[in-house]
Amino acid sequence: MSGKRTEVAVIPGDGIGPEVMESALGVLEAVGADVEQVPFEVGFGRWKRTGEALSAEDLESIKQCDCVLFGAITTPPDPKYRSVLLRLRKELDLFANIRPFSSSRLDLIVVRENTEGLYSGIEVLGEEECRTVRVITRRGSRRIAERACLLASRRRRLTIVHKSNVLKSDILFLKTCREVAESLSVPHDDLLVDAAAYHLVMRPERFDVIVTTNLFGDILSDLCAGLVGSLGLCASANLGESRALFEPIHGSAPDIAGQGIANPVGAVRSAAMMLDWLGQAEKARAIEAAVGRALEGGVKTPDLGGSSSTRQVTEEIVRQIDSARKI
């Protein structure tokens, strides 16, 4: 070991991003996380000011860091604007988006392929007709299936979610995922995405680890967020071979930005997932436990039907961390 401290590229972003990032950083400090912050001002706000959301130099500096902690960045439906988050996923080759969800009724993980599918970026935009190419490769399917199987092998089973009856590209995805699951002796089944959406609502306890393509994973993970009570509660890890970016799965929520009422839990949990990935698992668990106790105690932001502010929720999580330490 070189003795160099772990460097985290911190990207607060737009909208509620900076508010929830402040909470996540406060909680990291409270738990004594061994990380050095390297702040980056990138996103839609910067694009409006300078015409550039993320420069090549930013990207190089971000790559020098050990991982990225990300708040939220606005992605307007403007053909000239390239989503910063999608760029980072692609440039850092963060092919596996791991999204855990748990509540009294369900405990599952959505493993979303993060670099291809309908997010290929290969698009032809015309006045009368537009096309988006859906890319499915054996390599891409194989590596996401391997990640999902690794998780499933420590849990119960894998469900492969696809639409291979209509989208013939999904025949390759399904076949490859099955081959990987069989070769690793992971119990598995599969569902068409529409049926998966139905069963997630009706019988969420049937699911354990779901592996799916990019857009289906995007949609199903918001559905799961609804099942656990709020998008604001949910965290994610975007993982590559050796790189990683951690982010709450909610967006920049411009409608409530600046009001101090954003739910910080998704961002705080993302910071916990980061610590776990960095090998600081005990601190990650301390954060998770503190979040659980804070929510049980009834400190909740308006998205959960409460009236606490972002700051009050954060303070309660920090208080829970401090009091657990005293025991």
Q: Which is nearer to Mg ion, 218 or 316 (CB)?
A: 218
251 binds, among Mg ion, ligand IPM, none (CB under 5 to 8 A by kind): ligand IPM
Can you list the pairs that 268-271 forms with residues at least 24 positions away whose Cβ atoms lie under 8 Å?
Answer: 268/20, 268/23, 268/24, 268/27, 268/235, 268/314, 268/317, 269/233, 269/234, 269/235, 270/24, 270/69, 270/70, 270/235, 270/236, 270/237, 270/246, 271/24, 271/25, 271/27, 271/28, 271/33, 271/69, 271/246
Could you say which of 85, 180, 290, 321 contacts ligand IPM (CB under 6 A)?
Answer: 85
**How far are the Cα atoms of 85, 102, 152, 205, 247 from residue 200, in angstroms, in the given order?**
27, 13, 18, 8, 23
- The conformation of residue 51, written as its DSSP 8-state character, comes to S
Output the CA torsion sign for 307, 293, 317, 326.
positive
- Clarify whether 63 is annotated catalytic: no
Binding mask 251-290 for ligand IPM (x = CB under 6 A): x---------------------------------------
Q: Which is nearer to ligand IPM, 58 or 218 (CB)?
A: 218
DSSP 3-state assignment of 203?
Answer: coil
The stretch among 54-62, 83-91, 142-150, 263-271 that binds ligand IPM (CB under 6 A) is 83-91
**321: which 2 tokens?**
């961390």
The answer to whether 163 is a known catalytic residue is: yes
Nearer CB in complex with Mg ion: 19/218: 218
Residue 190 or 218 having the CB closest to ligand IPM: 218
User: CB under 6 A: which stretch of 81-89, 164-172, 269-277, 319-327 binds ligand IPM?
Assistant: 81-89
Least distance in Å: CB of 12 to ligand IPM? 15
Instruction: Return the residues of window 170-229 that contact Mg ion according to CB under 5 A.
Output: 218
Instruction: Quote the least distance from Cβ 315 to ligand IPM, whole Å.
Output: 28
> Does 194 participate in catalysis according to the annotation?
yes
The H or E element containing residue 285 is helix 281-296
Active-site residue, selected from the candidate residues 218, 276, 283, 300: 218
Pick from 91, 92, 80, 17: nearest CA to 47: 80
User: Interface with ligand IPM includes 192 (CB under 6 A)?
Assistant: no
On the CB side of 309, CA atoms within 13 Å amount to 8
163, 190, 276, 303: the catalytic one is: 163
Binding site for ligand IPM (CB under 6 A): 75, 83, 85-86, 218, 249, 251
Residues annotated catalytic, as ranges:
119, 163, 194, 218, 222
Binding site for Mg ion (CB under 5 A): 218
